[in-house]
Structure 1
Amino acid sequence: MKTPRPPALLVLAVLAGHLLLGREVQRIHEGWLQDDRSLPPPRMQVEFVQEMAMQPAVTVRAVPVPAPPRRVTPKSAAVAQAASAPASAPEAKPDTEFMAEAAPEPVADAASAPAAAAPPVAAVASVAPGDEPGPEWPLSTRLSYTLTGTFRGGPIHGQAQVEWLRKGRDYQVHLDVSAGPSFQPFLTRRISSHGQLTPDGIEPQRYDEEEKRVFRDPWRVSVFFLGAEVQLAHGVRQPLPRGAQDSASQFVQLTWLFLTGREPLQAGHRVEFPLVLARRQYAWQYEVMGEVMLDTPMGPVASWHLKPTRPAFEGDLAAEVWLASTMQYLPVRLLIRQNADTVIDLMLKSVPLQAAPESTDDTSRKPSP
């Protein structure tokens, strides 16, 4: 007696189910899928109402803000006496060296992760009293770029947009890239940074990277900055060096460092800070190559060229940047490399748009188109 054979369609359905389940388990293990609780924060809504005023390069010095008087609530005579006595400064602990060479993903465990700390930034207050940041932070700004380059060895064209948004001490940076026709791009990618403005500059709290590609499943990875630790995209936690930036926040941090004179703009000077990417950290350095005149759709624009002093690991994004001194040192050009076959060149195509000073942080307005 022959054993009845299951219908061919049933066999195919079972195999397909196992295949799909295996793919989802793998993607969850790799950190590509997030649940609704870990979705990125809502995008700040800002109305851009004016073109940025092109002006000579000016270094805006932040005004030091005195610390508010300490309120003492004497719970006992001993507490009151201790509060009025001169306090001794805590002993300063030297920073440990930040090792740039992280192991290829996945990292085995957090204990084996490189510990590090960045050199302290000049102690100049940059946040005004209350909830408003200091005057050296640019207004909420939108920059629009023309995109050229190669993707997997083939030429691509498209457009990109960077939005620097702030509300009080909170900020967001979004870089949106699309390749192909604007009505039907074959590739879109967004990298976003969310966090706060502090006396030491930008302090990221979360980084998100999303990509959608024709005939491919979309994916998203997130990095969480948790005080003294950072949780990378694959879930591993590592010590977080002071002053660390992510892929998106680093460019506005550079703007702030040059605009306030914390770092000198001169050929040969190197700017250092820890850089946290999706799967590893770097002790990153940009070298100031010099000032050049860029030929842009707006005409010649004087810009300072900064270039990384070392390559990133294969697959990690590394960028050269040109900062326009007449545009508050915001990036007029970005040359982003992922590997030898994928290079994206972004050139500013029009004068940046900004929010009005009195409504920079007003998110109650309707979303901008």
Structure 2
Amino acid sequence: MLLFGGGSHLSGLTRRRWRWGTRWWLALWLAFVLVVHLALAWHWARWQPMASAPPPRLAVQLSQPMRATPVPAPRPGPQPTITAPVPAPTAASASAVPPAEPEASAPTLEPPPVAASALPAPALAAAEPASAAQAQHAREGADAPGPEWPLSTQLRYTVVGHVQGPVHGDAEVEWLRQGARYQVRLRVGIGPRLAPFGQRRLASAGRITPRGIAPERYDEETQILWRTPRGFSVRFEGGDVVLAQGQRLPSPAGVQDSASQFVHLTWLLLTGREPARTGHVITVPLALPGSVGPWRYEVVGDSSLDTALGPVRAWHLRPQAPLPPNALAAQVWLAPSYQYLPVQIRIEQGDGLWLLLTLAAPPLQEAVPADNPQPSKENPP
């Protein structure tokens, strides 16, 4: 009895130690999960109450898979005519040689016509419409969008990155337009799609003009687990930009926000207003939550990306330093075979935080409606 009693005592002591050890491990695990979530909140949630709810999504149905189109080779320009230099005549030779009669049948060389979409914005406004669609837009007024804009499109991405440790997730970008109205909506989720640990949403809304995208409102929203989504807004009112804290600054011509800049860069390359050439720098005025200033994107070069659709060639654009402190910077890869839409995006925000979005499925587009004609130019000369 004594033996069994002592054994029972030791067995109970062992069970109590095991329970206490399990509780410690559980407490450490919960503390680790809490630290990770707090880190996500620290990096992603610079929260402030939003002035009002963002505008609802435009009612556009996206059901048509977008197919890659071959990129036409650039057409060679006219070859220069090389002529031998003619020595200047002397006084004696000028008096001895009579002036030559002009040949009546000599052909006259004229410069080749330039595509209207390849002209810069001021020249484009003064050019004659080259098609019935452009003539219709000219009749509708100066604020009517041109026919070169991509159809409403949705792109889905896989996400890998580093936020206080390796993370995985998914993302999607929507470009929506109805007549002269547009929306750009970007969502990035970390963790399982049905129950993500954190989500960030960027939304831009405004008008499409012959001079490009004209934002009217930008909203950024962050949600961590069960917490109430919080965020901020940037508004474009007349000639001013109203920042997240209410500061009002003059609005530069062609200013964009953190979401609209992606499609604006697409439009610049798609229409030939900016050349896709290694070393070229594209300047875009950008309105951030706390500042307004020019951002310079360098065309690093073109390369082949491994995507879920196979290898896709794309032009790599990277913002040049110096950048505002703690700014949300994005590198983009724009594919000519997909109308220069972004097939890869790398988002960075200081302290080693980065996310890489890579195209995961064929883009979805709307069927061609009457007020949204197909883009008239994909790779102008």
TM value normalised by structure 1: 0.70
Q: Is the contact between residue 121 and residue 273 of structure 2 (CA under 8 Å) also seen in structure 1?
A: yes
Residue matched to 2:243: 232
Return the letter of the residue paired with 2:281.
R
Return the letter of the residue paired with 1:292.
S
Q: Is the contact between residue 61 and residue 260 of structure 1 (CA under 8 Å) also seen in structure 2?
A: no
Q: Summarize deviations over 1:125-183 as a string: whole Å, max 9, x none.
A: 485543863221000000000011011x2111110000000000000000011110112
Return the letter of the residue paired with 2:253.
R
Aligned residue for 1:256, secondary structure, equals helix
Q: Summarize deviations over 1:162-209 as a string: whole Å, max 9, x none.
A: 000000000000001111011210101110000101111001010000
Q: Summarize deviations over 1:50-98 as a string: whole Å, max 9, x none.
A: 111211236996569xxxxxxxxxxxxxxxxxxxxxxxxxxxxxxxxxx
Structure 2 residue runs of 5 or longer lacking an equivalent are 1-45, 75-113, 126-133, 373-381
**Among 297, 314, 325, which residue is 1:303 paired with?**
314
Residue matched to 1:80: none
2:159 counterpart of 1:147: yes
Closer, same or farther: CA 282–166 of 1 in aligned 2, 3 Å = same
Residue matched to 1:34: 50
2:332 counterpart of 1:321: yes
Return the letter of the residue paired with 1:55.
T
**Among 279, 289, 293, which residue is 2:300 paired with?**
289
Deviates more, 1:55-64 or 1:332-341: 55-64
Distance across 1 between alignment mates of 2:243 and 2:227: 24
Matched residues, number: 275
Q: Is the contact between residue 265 and residue 288 of structure 1 (CA under 8 Å) also seen in structure 2?
A: yes
Distance across 2 between alignment mates of 1:265 and 1:355: 27
Q: Is the contact between residue 62 and residue 135 of structure 1 (CA under 8 Å) also seen in structure 2?
A: no
Q: Is the contact between residue 117 and residue 272 of structure 2 (CA under 8 Å) also seen in structure 1?
A: no
Residue matched to 1:46: 60
Distance across 2 between alignment mates of 1:161 and 1:47: 15
Residue matched to 1:165: 176
RMSD, aligned CA: 2.4
Closer, same or farther: CA 177–32 of 1 in aligned 2, 3 Å = same
2:69 counterpart of 1:55: yes
Counterparts of residues 3-82 of structure 1 (less than 5 Å): 32-35=48-51, 38-57=52-71
Q: Is the contact between residue 256 and residue 285 of structure 2 (CA under 8 Å) also seen in structure 1?
A: yes
Q: Is the contact between residue 255 and residue 285 of structure 2 (CA under 8 Å) also seen in structure 1?
A: yes
Q: Is the contact between residue 286 and residue 309 of structure 1 (CA under 8 Å) also seen in structure 2?
A: yes
Shift of 1:350: 1.3
Closer, same or farther: CA 222–61 of 1 in aligned 2, 3 Å = farther
Return the letter of the residue paired with 1:279.
G
Residue matched to 2:150: 138
Return the letter of the residue paired with 2:188.
V
Shift of 1:124: 1.9
Closer, same or farther: CA 124–341 of 1 in aligned 2, 3 Å = same
Distance across 1 between alignment mates of 2:173 and 2:198: 17
Distance across 2 between alignment mates of 1:317 and 1:330: 20
Closer, same or farther: CA 128–323 of 1 in aligned 2, 3 Å = farther
Q: Is the contact between residue 145 and residue 210 of structure 2 (CA under 8 Å) also seen in structure 1?
A: no
2:278 counterpart of 1:271: no
Structure (1/2) with the larger helix percentage: 2
2:207 counterpart of 1:193: no
Residue matched to 1:76: none
Aligned residue for 1:124, secondary structure, equals helix
**Among 219, 240, 252, which residue is 2:230 paired with?**
219
Aligned residue for 1:250, secondary structure, equals helix
Q: Is the contact between residue 152 and residue 366 of structure 2 (CA under 8 Å) also seen in structure 1?
A: yes
Closer, same or farther: CA 342–31 of 1 in aligned 2, 3 Å = closer
Aligned residue for 1:254, secondary structure, equals helix
Return the letter of the residue paired with 1:235.
G
Shift of 1:335: 0.3
Return the letter of the residue paired with 2:145.
P
Structure 1 residue runs of 5 or longer lacking an equivalent are 1-29, 65-119, 362-369
Identity percentage over the alignment? 50
Aligned residue for 2:268, secondary structure, equals helix
Aligned residue for 1:246, secondary structure, equals coil
Q: Summarize deviations over 1:258-282 as a string: whole Å, max 9, x none.
A: 1110001110000002111111122
Distance across 2 between alignment mates of 1:333 and 1:157: 15
Q: Is the contact between residue 262 and residue 342 of structure 2 (CA under 8 Å) also seen in structure 1?
A: yes
TM value normalised by structure 2: 0.68
Aligned residue for 2:261, secondary structure, equals helix
Distance across 2 between alignment mates of 1:259 and 1:265: 9
Distance across 1 between alignment mates of 2:115 and 2:343: 23
Closer, same or farther: CA 328–321 of 1 in aligned 2, 3 Å = same
Residue matched to 2:124: 124
